[in-house]
Chains A and B, each alone.
Chain A
Amino acid sequence: MASDLNSRDLTQTYKVAGDMFANLFNEIGKVVVGQNETVEQIIIAILCNGHALVESNPGLGKTLTISTISKSMDLNFSRIQCTPDLMPADITGTNIIEESDGHKQFKFEPGPIFANIVLADEINRASPKTQSALLEAMQEKQITIGNDTYLLEQPFFILATQNPIEMEGTFPLPEAQLDRFLLKILLEYPKYEEEIEIVNRYTRSVMPSVGKVLNKNTLIDLQKLTRDMPVADDIRNRAIKIVMSTRVKNEFIEYGASPRASIGLILAAKARALIQGRNFVSNEDIDAMAYPILRHRMILTFESERKGVTTDQVIKNILEKIK
């Protein structure tokens, strides 16, 4: 009976998924100018129940984008500004002594990690100890403090940002932690027309606002639907070949992506297909998602750095070879 209700809900959600996504992008577009690809990739990460790392220069609206998404989805949002003196307890929360009726007892005070969407701003400024505090939360969706383990509320999504130009006093994320981010999204400067629109919108007395389009349950349904998206065998095999070809050492590649990348690539392609209103995964989805999935999972050689070859160029080359 329960499964019938569940499937009925899913059927209903599936029927209106296209309209929901259209409304969602429309609402976000009221606040965020341009950045359609970035917004789509962040929503893909949320649908995949994964996390995203956004790399961009300061002032491009990372915080605005993520807070807008969280508002449009009716989700709890918290922000952590990472600094070198930020402690793990500042993120996870800590036990405090509380006195009531003359008795003193420990009470757990949840940190900002206890939200549906967490923005870890400038994550590479936090110390490795603090960065690793995010590991368990990202992978296990739970937090352990002392002997107690606290489950995080679903859906749970971390969007971390890092600044590519100010590297002094930063702690680059270790490969193990980078691998836990489903996507690495690069945010580019807006185009001329987009910048005019940004200036127009944010120099008025009335600031744009966003309406709620999705609730938590609908989002969880959409996450289930994402996993139900069918993939053809040859498309799946191609995705795996793409990931495996990053492990073939050559002039440009030192280390390749892990099997987690294969899982991530298929899952992200499924989410993209759902967003685009298709009921099947296309090769086009694989090609589009290969860049954000693989770019932080590959380590290039010194030779490639010397020649100025980027990970995106290497990925493009791989995609062209594996058609």
Chain B
Amino acid sequence: MDVRDFIKKQESALKRYRRVYKLLDFITILIILYTIMVVLSVDQILPLIDSLEVRVGTSYELAGISIPFENMAMLLIALLPALILTLLLHTRGNKTSVVLRIEEKYPDLRERLRTAYDNFDDENVIVDDLEQKVSVRVSQVDPFALLSRRLLLIAMMGLLLSSISVTYVTIYDVRIVQLGTDEWQDIIDDLPFAPENSNTGDLAIIDEEGDGQEGNGNEDLTGEPTVVVVDGEEVDLSLPPGTGTGFNPNDEAEEIIEDFEDSPGGPPTVTPSGTYSEELPEGYETVIRDYFEQLAEE
């Protein structure tokens, strides 16, 4: 086997090994991040997100296993950071060339292998001699030379430990932070960069009095009456009640109809709606009709 073929084979082998290391590391990191999320009760944040609120509590069937939406969402959230961390972890390793790695593993090939590889196209007595000697030596090199068993073992151990951790955390519902949705809401509200009413979106919280505002509605919004003195006479400048409301686009005040009276309720009549269906359950038609008629009379 000549030097160039040897290096090509080792390069492709190294690529395969690197893919395996990357995959193992990615899965381990993903599991670790997922475990951290479970432990920190991150799933309680999901109901606070408008678009996810409706899905919370549902579950998905995957290969016969029912997976809650919260678990799926946390896994998806952990995907991106896991990917970034894996890439960062493997950036340095990718820069080391195959030739240098083999030389590191086989010190007798140090500087010889790279010289033979770089001068492969040259032809002279010394290069030929070098190529021949290096070829003989590399033919004895272990085909799995670049497979770092130590690295593989570490990756496998990491995966095993993280799997055990996530299983334990899931089964025993281990949570360091026991926070519910409301507590998370408070934490988010306290954040300096949190937007106001971020939890409610375009919905307004309506209290029992129905005025759409917090408090009991007795706040003194206008303050003390404003009084000015004109020619020695005090003039009250406070605005009469109702001022400032009901303006139309033409800046004309809406007419306040003070003598408006509610019209009395009409006699109840049975009016079929557009969606009413006459196809009532067989045998129960009479019962259902009687029920609704009585309801209307009352």
Contacts and interface: CB of A to CB of B under 8 A. Distances in A.
A232 B126 contact: no
B148 interface: no
B119 interface: yes
B112 A280 contact: yes
Given A225-B125, A279-B133, A230 B111 contact: no
A7 interface: yes
A24 B133 CA distance: 26
A230 B115 contact: yes
A10 interface: yes
B146 interface: no
Contacts of A283: 111
Nearest to B111: A282
Contact of A281 (B115, B122, B124): B115
Contacts of A232: 111, 114-115, 117-119
Interface in A226-283: 228-235, 279-283
B138 interface: no
A81 interface: no
B211 interface: no
Nearest to B122: A230
Taking each of A11, A14, A280, A283, which has the highest tally of chain B beta carbons within 10 Å of its own beta carbon?
A280
Contacts of B117: 232
A296 B126 CA distance: 31
Interface string B222-264: 0000000000000000000000000000000000000000000
B125 A10 contact: yes
Contacts of A230: 115-116, 118-119, 122, 126-127, 130
B129 interface: yes
B82 to A, nearest CB: 35
B111 A14 contact: no
Nearest to A233: B118
A283 B112 CA distance: 11
Interface string A1-33: 000000100110010000000000000000000
Given A230-B118, A230-B119, A233-B118, A279 B111 contact: no
A14 B129 contact: yes
Interface of B: 111-112, 114-119, 122, 124-127, 129-130, 133
18 contacts: A14-B126, A228-B124, A228-B125, A228-B126, A230-B115, A230-B118, A230-B122, A230-B127, A231-B118, A231-B119, A235-B114, A279-B127, A279-B129, A279-B130, A280-B115, A280-B130, A281-B111, A282-B111
Interface of A: 7, 10-11, 14, 225, 228-235, 279-283
Smallest CB-CB A-B distances: 5 pairs: A230-B119, A280-B115, A228-B124, A232-B114, A232-B115
